[in-house]
Chain A
Amino acid sequence: MSSIVSVPALEKRTAQSKSRRWIFFWLGLGLISLFILSLLLGRYPETGLISWERLNQDELARLLVINLRLPRLVTAMALGMSLSVGGLVFQMLFGNPLVEPGFLGVSQGAAFGAALSIVFLGGSALLTQGSAVVFSLAGLVFSYWLARRIRYGGWVLRLVLAGIAISALFSAGLGILKYMADPYRQLPEITFWLLGGLSSITWTKLISILPAVISGLVILYLFRWRLNILALNDETAFSMGATPKRERLLLLTAAVLPTAAVISVAGMVGWVGLIIPHIARRLFGSNSQFTLPASMLLGGIFTILCDDLSRTLLAGEIPLGILTSLLGAAIFIVLMLSRGPREVSK
């Protein structure tokens, strides 16, 4: 090889991948320590951490940690991971850094389904969850069906248009339901569902969403490099031996299922799917081989942090969606104002 540039360059690449591995190590360690810390953090018996001694002596403390905090934390982590990775996958497949995993009618469908159950079906927890799942998937199916029927534009444009139209239909339906709801009992319940939160998570709820979350995340993780190819133009991806339509449909489904599952138990938790992929790209560039696992770890960390604040900051619980929006938007503004490490190094 006539290599004046390539030998030092390849060495630099090796150094780069070593430093990447360190960042991943620290992110992973950060997530695990945060998880353990959060398990002990709360407002019982007083605000702060429960000590190991207390945990061994106090039966109530132990039950609290195992039956309330543990499922809640795992759900927070699943929520953050699903929304972040889903957001990244959507942003790449749609070639648009401003989409999030719920926009193909999934979020609005879930909101409509939950409100429908609260107003007309008595609103038991299980029924609301089921109705949210059914309508979020219906949102996806309608969007996809509509996109196939639209007669102009490329695949991406058609899906975006269909997603917007179906979401608008569901949000209009949600408006009607809110208008019809009993303002003293049902309306507050709908509002709280829309603000999102993890206060009602139980082991049963967690277990009901785990299959969708785990299978979706595993598939997406396995496709982490392949995703780059599927983000290219149709014909370019095809020329490189991919089957873009079929593979994209698989990845979209793998991104939407966990999203629909977590929304169904946690309600609308905004901004996670939008902001975390941006942070991941700031750290690792655009290659999804790295940004995808990074989004998973960062999403878990971000949501656990927000949920910790939501349950400890005030005596009453602050809805999680408010905190993720507040912190997410704040971080987003800071990110936009600061220059990224990639630009600085040039």
Chain B
Amino acid sequence: MSSSILSFHEVLFGYNRKVPPVLDGLNLSLKKGLITAILGPNGAGKTTLLFLALGWLKSWAGVISLDGKPVANYSRRALGQRIALIPQSEHIPFEYSVLEYVLLGRAPYLPSLGMPSRADEELAFNVLEKLGIAHLYDHSVLAISGGERQLVLAARALAQEPSLLLLDEPTSHLDLSNKYRLVQILKELQARGKTILMTTHEPDLALAVSDELVLMEKGRVLISGPTEDIATGENLSEIYQVPVKIIPVEGKKQVAWM
């Protein structure tokens, strides 16, 4: 049985004290070395949950711990070395080269006024090679395709060498072949010992890649557990409020909603 890396205990959070909280008494435990997907309708609080794990948002009540220690008690650098975020999209206003951009991920390992060294450059190249985009290293981040851009964001996060990787809607800008590539990459990262937490709107993706599934609705965890058990037509129908069926195709579960 794998141990827990990240846990939420009775977490209460809202953006405005005058209205009811977005997350209301959330409990969740993330197992080390597994891929966990969070599914839920828009506004369920999925991204909020990621930002709380990151420490970017502070909960009103309750405890969020990483490796048994509250996230709030980590120094900024220490947390940057453990958790990395691949945002849904990122506005990059200036023309960095891919390598320059990926090198930014080394920030939590550098002294506060330091600059990346040759060793950091080699590490960044290594990451680019693993993601299959090393040939793009001197291209401008603004001049590559959306799919390549998403991989570059991933490379920057991986340059942080995190043990926990957070992905916010990783497939929202990807076509089918890039989605397939992402699934392969996530599985490869898992094989190398990373724990992955991702939000998604696509039940297909969750079924294809996740070990654990969390279904969220209105700031609460409706149900969570092994994807195998949780991903039922009944459960998905309930959170999305539309009829959803799970159909086995060639031994794999597929989602049908029309």
Contacts and interface: CB of A to CB of B under 8 A. Distances in A.
Interface of A: 1-6, 9-10, 12-13, 92, 95-97, 222-223, 225-226, 228-229, 231-236, 238-243, 281, 285-287, 289, 342, 346
Contacts of B252: none
21 contacts: A1-B129, A2-B129, A3-B125, A3-B129, A97-B93, A225-B116, A226-B112, A226-B113, A229-B104, A229-B107, A232-B92, A232-B104, A233-B91, A235-B51, A235-B54, A236-B90, A239-B54, A239-B157, A241-B77, A241-B80, A287-B96
A5 B94 contact: no
Nearest to B89: A233
Given A232-B92, A240-B104, A286-B96, 18 more contacts: A1-B122, A3-B125, A9-B137, A96-B93, A97-B94, A228-B104, A231-B93, A232-B104, A233-B91, A239-B54, A239-B85, A240-B105, A240-B108, A241-B78, A241-B80, A286-B94, A286-B95, A287-B96
Given A5-B135, A233-B91, A286-B96, A240 B122 contact: no
Nearest to B126: A1
A241 B140 CA distance: 25
Interface string B79-101: 11101110100111111110110
B105 A223 contact: no
Contact of B122 (A6, A96, A228, A233): A6
B129 A5 contact: yes
B227 interface: no
Interface string B103-123: 011011000111110100110
A225 B104 CA distance: 9
Contacts of A235: 51, 54, 56, 85, 87
Contact of A10 (B96, B113, B125, B160): B125
B69 interface: no
Contact of A285 (B80, B90, B96, B104): B96
Nearest to B142: A286
A342 B157 CA distance: 26
A233 B87 contact: yes
Contacts of A12: 138
A2 B107 CA distance: 25
Given A5-B135, A10-B122, A241-B80, A222 B113 contact: yes
Contacts of A342: 95, 140
Contact of A236 (B87, B96, B128): B87
Given A226-B112, A287-B96, A239 B126 contact: no
Residue of B56, B77, B84 with most chain A CB atoms under a 10 A cut-off:
B56
Contacts of B115: 225, 289
Pick the 4 closest A-B CB pairs, nearest first: A241-B80, A241-B108, A286-B94, A239-B85
B134 interface: yes
Interface in B116-164: 116, 118, 121-122, 125-126, 128-129, 134-135, 137-140, 143, 157, 160
Q: How large is the interface on B (under 10, 10 to 19, 20 to 34, 35 or more residues)?
A: 35 or more
A239 B56 contact: yes
Interface string B34-58: 0000000000000000010011100
A287 B99 CA distance: 11
B76 A241 contact: yes
A165 B240 CA distance: 44
Contacts of B137: 5, 9
Nearest to A240: B107
A10 B126 CA distance: 11
A238 B157 CA distance: 12
A236 B156 CA distance: 10
Contacts of A238: 54-56, 76
A223 B111 CA distance: 11
A241 B122 contact: no
A289 B114 CA distance: 10
A243 B75 CA distance: 10
A70 to B, nearest CB: 32
A281 B93 contact: no
Contacts of B54: 235, 238-239
A225 B96 CA distance: 13
Nearest to B95: A286
Q: Could you say which of A226, A242, A287 has the most chain B C-beta atoms within 10 Å of its C-beta?
A: A287
A13 B103 CA distance: 13
Nearest to A7: B125
A289 B97 CA distance: 13
B135 A92 contact: no
Contacts of B166: 239
Nearest to B106: A240
Contacts of A236: 85, 87, 90
Contacts of A289: 115
A196 B93 CA distance: 32
Given A240-B105, A240-B160, A287-B100, A6 B94 contact: no
A231 B94 contact: yes
